[in-house]
């Protein structure tokens, strides 16, 4: 699949916290770096995500927020 997102990071799913509608998915990028994303439960099932799944994270810069 081709995609225009340039910010792509490879990682391994290390946690999935399921809710009624959404899930919080934590991905280990290596060197102790973890990125977390909220995705729909439908997406978790469609992608067949489980702890240990190898994934590519895509980051859309207009959706990134930082807080200090």
Average confidence (pLDDT) over 2-29: 92
Tens-place pLDDT, residues 16-68: 999 999 999 999 999 989 999 999 999 999 999 999 999 999 887 776 677 77
Higher pLDDT, 16 or 3: 16
The CATH class, in words, for 12-50 is: mainly beta
- Full-model pTM: 0.83
**What is the residue extent of each domain of the chain?**
12-50
Residues 6+ apart with CB under 8 A from 64: none
Using alpha carbons, list the distances in angstroms from residue 11 to 21, 33, 57. Answer: 24, 10, 7
């Amino acid at each position: 699949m081709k995609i225009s997102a340039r910010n792509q990071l490879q990682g391994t799913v290390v946690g999935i916290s399921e809710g009624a509608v959404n899930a919080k998915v934590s991905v280990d990028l290596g060197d102790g770096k973890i990125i977390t994303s909220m995705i729909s439960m439908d997406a978790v099932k469609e992608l067949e995500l489980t702890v240990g799944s190898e994934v590519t994270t895509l980051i859309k810069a207009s959706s990134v927020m930082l807080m200090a």
